[in-house]
């Protein structure tokens, strides 16, 4: 149920609002991948494929963005097209950016953190993305740590992803998540996936082998009033995975180039992903698409099982 105080800021598509009110499964989807993650028109095509994947597996998709200062839960075709064509001109919006974009009636493509916040305002508790942010390499000195991690610790939205982006310091990211009490679940895996690669070599907190098992753990967490999300990691399908050593070599070279050029903050991730795409001849883009679709499928199945548990 939408908080009445939020109605002056929040637009929820009728189909989504009705589903939330009726306790039917809904899966939130982010918009940064549309404006900042892929070139046009591939970004819009992928966004529509991801929404269809959610529908095909028993849930309603809710792509989230900020348009004209309105928090949008669900986008129509015209809005998807606008985001896709506008690309990098749209602000990459995290928690700190939301009030300023709203106040200035601006546009924002929502990161993991911002998507979680708007999902929670609308009453959606599961969200599918590609990979989450984390502690950047060298973060122990720079303190460059994604707001996604703090959001996972305090906002009751569970996130299905292909693990922690391989461009980050995965070990320190997992230590941070442990400190703030975020459980890391591996879906049919004992090891945290590393976005393009199926394993980072780091163990998950809990391995769960069915959507129903994940839904039951989520329900227990929220019934007990334990705030924050569950990080549900889902390895990219084997046929689309990239060789970890090849990705690692590309990342190391790109980091050296960033240091030379003074690239920091929000510019880091797009730069690294672009370099990886160049070095893999575009294969990494295809991997990115396949893993997002895979996460959307799992999120829809978990949402459907969670809905059945809630409606018993």
| Segment 6-52, tens digit of pLDDT | 678 999 999 999 999 999 999 999 999 999 888 899 999 999 999 99
Do 30 and 106 lie in a common domain?
A: yes
Domain count for the chain, please give it. Answer: 2
Q: Please say if the pLDDT value at position 1 is more than 70.
A: no
For position 242, which CATH number holds?
3.40.1790.10
119 and 205 housed in the same domain: no
d(CA 144, CA 134): 8
| pLDDT bracket for residue 262 (50, 70, 90) | confident
Catalytic pick among 72, 79, 151, 165: 165
**CA–centroid distance for 99 within its chain:** 21
Q: What are residue 150's phi and psi, to 5 degrees?
A: -65, -40
- Looking at residue 3, what is its pLDDT? 52
The listed range with the strongest mean pLDDT (100-104, 244-248, 249-253, 283-287) is: 100-104
| Final residue before a domain boundary, out of 124, 158, 177 | 124
- d(CA 79, CA 103) in angstroms, rounded, equals 20
DSSP 24: -
Specify whether 92 is located in the same domain as 151: no
| DSSP percent split of the chain into helix, strand, coil, nearest 5 | 55, 15, 30
Q: Measured between alpha carbons, how far is residue 193 from residues 190, 199, 207, 279 in Å?
A: 9, 4, 12, 21
Instruction: Please tell me whether residues 303 and 164 are part of one structural domain.
Output: yes
Residue 275's closest CA among 288, 266, 284? 284
Note the pLDDT tens digit of each residue in 118-163.
999 999 999 999 999 999 888 888 888 899 999 999 999 999 999 9
> Are residues 288 and 188 both part of a single domain?
yes
The predicted pLDDT at position 4 comes to: 59
- 108 shares its domain with 233: no
Of 146, 166, 161, nearest in space to 254 by CA: 166
* Structural domain span for residue 167: 130-312
| 30 counts as catalytic | yes
Among 30, 51, 79, 151, the one annotated catalytic: 30
Give the span between the Cα atoms of 155 and 134, in whole angstroms: 16
**Does 267 qualify as catalytic in the annotation?**
no
Same-domain pairing of 170 and 104: no
Per-residue pLDDT tens digits for 95-104: 999 999 999 9
Domain end residue (candidates: 81, 101, 124): 124
* Residue that is last in its domain, among 124, 151, 181: 124
Regarding whether 261 and 215 lie in a shared domain, the answer is yes
Share of the chain above pLDDT 90, in %: 74
Helices H / strands E in the chain, number of each: 13, 11
3-state secondary structure of 26: strand
On whether both 150 and 288 belong to a single domain, the answer is: yes
A 10 A CB-CB count for 226 gives: 12
DSSP letters spanning 100-167: HHHHTT--EEE-HHHHHHHHHHHT--EEE-S-B--BBTTHHHH--B-HHHHHHHHS--EEEESBB-TT
| Average pLDDT rounded to a whole number, residues 233-238 | 96
Distance CA 251, CA 229 (A): 29
Q: How far apart are the C-alpha atoms of 247 and 245, rounded to whole Å?
A: 6
Verify cis geometry, omega within 30 degrees of 0, for the bond prior to 203: no
Give the pTM: 0.92
Q: What is the dihedral of CA 44, 47, 51, 57, to 10 degrees?
A: 130
Same domain, 143 and 193: yes
Q: Are residues 145 and 120 in the same domain?
A: no
CB-side exposure of 23: number of CA atoms within 13 Å?
8
The 3-state DSSP class for residue 252 equals helix
If asked whether residues 256 and 148 sit together in one domain, one would say: yes
Mean pLDDT of the chain: 92
């Amino acid at each position: 149920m939408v908080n009445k105080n939020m109605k002056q800021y929040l637009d929820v598509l009728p189909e989504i609002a009705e589903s939330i009110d009726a306790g039917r499964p809904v899966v939130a989807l982010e918009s940064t991948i549309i404006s900042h993650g892929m070139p046009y028109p591939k970004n819009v095509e992928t966004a529509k494929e991801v929404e269809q994947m959610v529908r095909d597996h028993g849930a309603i998709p809710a792509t989230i963005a900020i348009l004209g200062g309105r928090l949008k839960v669900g986008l129509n075709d015209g809005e998807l097209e606008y985001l896709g064509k506008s690309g990098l001109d749209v602000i990459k919006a995290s928690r700190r950016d939301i009030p300023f974009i709203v106040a200035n009636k601006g546009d924002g493509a929502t990161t993991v953190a911002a998507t979680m916040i708007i999902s929670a305002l609308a009453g959606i508790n599961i969200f599918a993305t590609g990979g989450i942010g984390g502690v950047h390499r060298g973060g122990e000195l720079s303190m460059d740590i994604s707001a996604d991690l703090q959001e996972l610790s305090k906002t009751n939205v569970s996130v299905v992803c292909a693990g922690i982006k391989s461009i980050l310091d995965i070990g320190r990211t997992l230590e941070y998540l442990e400190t703030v009490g975020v459980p890391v679940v591996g879906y049919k895996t004992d090891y945290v996936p590393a976005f393009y690669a199926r394993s980072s070599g780091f163990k998950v907190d809990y391995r769960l082998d069915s959507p129903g098992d994940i839904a039951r753990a989520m329900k227990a967490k929220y019934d007990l009033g334990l705030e924050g999300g569950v990080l549900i990691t889902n390895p990219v399908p084997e046929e689309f995975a990239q060789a970890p050593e090849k990705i690692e070599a590309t990342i190391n070279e790109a980091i050296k180039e960033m240091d030379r050029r003074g690239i920091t903050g929000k510019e880091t991730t797009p730069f690294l992903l672009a370099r990886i795409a160049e070095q893999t001849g575009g294969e990494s883009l295809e991997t990115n698409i396949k893993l997002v679709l895979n996460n959307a499928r799992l999120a829809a199945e978990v949402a459907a099982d969670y809905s059945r548990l809630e409606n018993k």
